[in-house]
């Protein structure tokens, strides 16, 4: 396999999580008795451009299907994050009724509905029918397509270039990151701005966040590598913000290479921090696997101990990161009896691989588990606020990443 960005041969493995099904391929009861598709889940690192990437095995269409189960609006914290972003961008860029905003991977309209309410023309681009339908019901126009250079050029030809192109947690999800970036270039007005948010590879390594690795994430990104990818497409990263979302993310601001805006000091600061953390040093990548194994073993030991003690353990959050962790650890319903999730699209189904049933959060009151494992640790505070009633019967919480913690 060659690097998806620079084309150099990939000789170094960063992480090997064995075999796993797609993390969002939730199963119906009838599907439990049918064969389940597993793919190798292995990351390589390019020692030329330092892009961390999954091995090539499957196409995006397998992961982002018409009945895609992830709806962004399920998390109140994420809705608030999106609303703050829209207000900030409107003020910073002077957006108004004469402006045009495009969001790539617009999901269920969680973000664009804020621009719609402000009277700012917008367009969502979203290939999954399940989420696009919800966005359209809010009045948001949606193109049901995968984004890339061809679509970017078509938008330009149709005089629909954007003043702002937003992409939250999509850049890591595209198999051809060069084609996608060229699409951003084509669809951006002269003087326009691109913002992309993605989990920061530096934080993944720092906090052993290996459970954020799954097949839908084709790339694991640093500012250094993204700057190189942008430059190759005729774009430039001129500003960056560090965000707490998803365990530590970057929001990068991009423009055409010839744009007059100067690069911020923040760009230099983050690049220096990445270099100091060893992100252009193979030793950092080659030492990561034992740390991931330690997290996995810690969770497994905890669950086995609780079973021996006769305790009931459940989980909260049927999230992709939870599926990565559970499948790598080999956890089944005998150790984790059920998982609660607020998304109606997941309730009544079963987690891929582990086949743990997904039920509504109110079932916690009926089942009264001794422990609740919070799988989406990035929203642990929000989960504990919504389920604080488990304290009534002495229930407690567990998170496994970056180390096992109980509270």
Q: Are residues 203 and 251 in the same domain?
A: yes
Residue 66 covered by a domain:
no
Selection from 316, 297, 330 nearest residue 382 by Cα: 316
Q: Are residues 305 and 274 in the same domain?
A: no
Residue 1 covered by a domain:
no
Q: Are residues 126 and 254 in the same domain?
A: yes
Q: Are residues 224 and 111 in the same domain?
A: yes
Q: Are residues 40 and 103 in the same domain?
A: no
Taking 80 as the threshold, does the pLDDT of residue 352 lie above it?
A: yes
Residue 39 covered by a domain:
yes
Q: What is the pTM of this model?
A: 0.89
Tens of pLDDT, residues 74-109: 677 779 999 999 999 999 999 999 999 999 999 999
Selection from 147, 206, 154 nearest residue 180 by Cα: 147
Task: State which residues form the domain around 381.
Answer: 289-406
Q: What is the mean pLDDT of residues 136-140?
A: 95
Place of tokens 């099904």: 21
Q: Residue 350 gets which letter from DSSP? A: B
Query: What's the number of domains the chain is made of?
Result: 3
Q: Are residues 323 and 270 in the same domain?
A: no
Residue 348 belongs to a domain with what CATH number? Answer: 3.40.50.720
Q: Are residues 97 and 45 in the same domain?
A: no
Selection from 223, 219, 198, 240 nearest residue 53 by Cα: 219
Cα 194 from Cα 187, distance rounded (Å): 10
Q: Are the C-beta atoms of residues 390 and 383 closer than 8 Å to each other?
A: no
Residue 179 covered by a domain:
yes
Residue 339 covered by a domain:
yes
Q: Are the C-beta atoms of residues 241 and 254 closer than 8 Å to each other?
A: no
| Mean pLDDT score across all residues of the chain | 94
DSSP run (H or E) holding 122: strand 122-125
Selection from 103, 228, 237, 114 nearest residue 167 by Cα: 103
For strand 249-256 and strand 188-199, is the pairing parallel, antiparallel, or unpaired? Answer: antiparallel
For strand 188-199 and strand 142-143, is the pairing parallel, antiparallel, or unpaired? Answer: unpaired
Tens of pLDDT, residues 218-242: 999 999 999 999 999 999 999 999 9
For residue 74, the model assigns a pLDDT of 63
Cα 131 from Cα 133, distance rounded (Å): 5
Cα 12 from Cα 17, distance rounded (Å): 15
Quote the percentage of the chain above a pLDDT of 90: 86
Q: Alpha helix locations (H) across 33-170? A: 60-63, 76-93, 112-117, 129-137, 149-157
The CB-side HSE value for 205 (13 A sphere, CA atoms) comes to 25
Q: Are residues 220 and 334 in the same domain?
A: no
Q: What is the mean pLDDT of residues 241-255?
A: 94
Selection from 145, 148, 146, 106 nearest residue 123 by Cα: 106
Q: Are residues 183 and 303 in the same domain?
A: no
Tokens (6 digits) for 283: 């030793």
Taking 70 as the threshold, does the pLDDT of residue 65 lie above it?
A: no
């Amino acid at each position: 396999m060659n690097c998806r960005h620079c084309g150099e041969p990939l000789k170094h493995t960063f992480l090997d999580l064995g075999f796993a099904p797609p993390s969002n391929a939730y199963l119906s009861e009838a599907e439990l008795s049918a064969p389940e598709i597993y793919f190798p889940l292995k990351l390589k690192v390019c020692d030329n451009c330092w892009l961390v990437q999954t091995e090539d095995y499957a196409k995006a269409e397998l992961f982002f299907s018409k009945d895609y189960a992830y709806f962004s609006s399920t998390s109140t914290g994420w809705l608030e994050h999106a609303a703050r972003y829209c207000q900030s961008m409107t003020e910073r860029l002077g957006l108004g009724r004469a402006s045009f905003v495009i969001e790539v991977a617009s999901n269920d309209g969680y973000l664009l509905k804020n621009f719609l309410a402000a009277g700012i023309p917008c367009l969502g681009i979203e290939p999954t029918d399940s989420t696009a339908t919800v966005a359209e019901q809010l009045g948001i126009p949606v193109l049901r397509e995968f984004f890339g250079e061809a679509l970017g050029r078509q938008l330009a030809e149709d005089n629909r270039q954007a003043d702002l192109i937003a992409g939250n947690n999509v850049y890591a999800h595209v198999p051809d990151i060069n084609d996608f970036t060229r699409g951003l270039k084509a669809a951006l007005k002269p003087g326009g701005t691109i913002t992309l948010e993605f989990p920061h590879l530096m934080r993944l390594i720092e906090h052993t966040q290996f459970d954020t690795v799954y097949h839908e994430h084709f790339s694991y990104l640093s500012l250094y590598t993204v700057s190189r990818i942008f430059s190759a497409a005729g774009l430039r990263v001129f500003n960056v913000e560090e965000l707490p979302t998803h365990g530590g993310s970057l929001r990068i601001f991009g423009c055409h290479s010839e744009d007059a805006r100067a690069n911020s000091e923040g760009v230099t600061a983050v690049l220096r921090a990445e270099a100091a953390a060893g992100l252009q040093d193979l030793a950092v990548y080659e030492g990561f696997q034992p740390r991931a194994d330690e997290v996995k073993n810690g969770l497994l030991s905890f669950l086995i101990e609780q079973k021996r003690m006769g305790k009931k353990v459940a989980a909260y959050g049927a999230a992709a990161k939870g599926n990565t962790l559970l499948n790598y650890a080999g956890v089944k319903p005998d150790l984790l009896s059920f998982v609660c999730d607020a998304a109606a699209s997941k309730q009544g189904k079963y987690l891929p691989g582990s086949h743990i049933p997904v039920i509504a959060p109110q079932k916690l009151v009926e089942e009264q588990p001794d422990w609740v494992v919070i799988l989406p640790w990035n929203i642990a505070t929000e989960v504990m606020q919504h389920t604080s009633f488990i304290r009534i019967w002495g229930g407690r919480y567990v998170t496994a990443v970056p180390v096992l913690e109980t509270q």
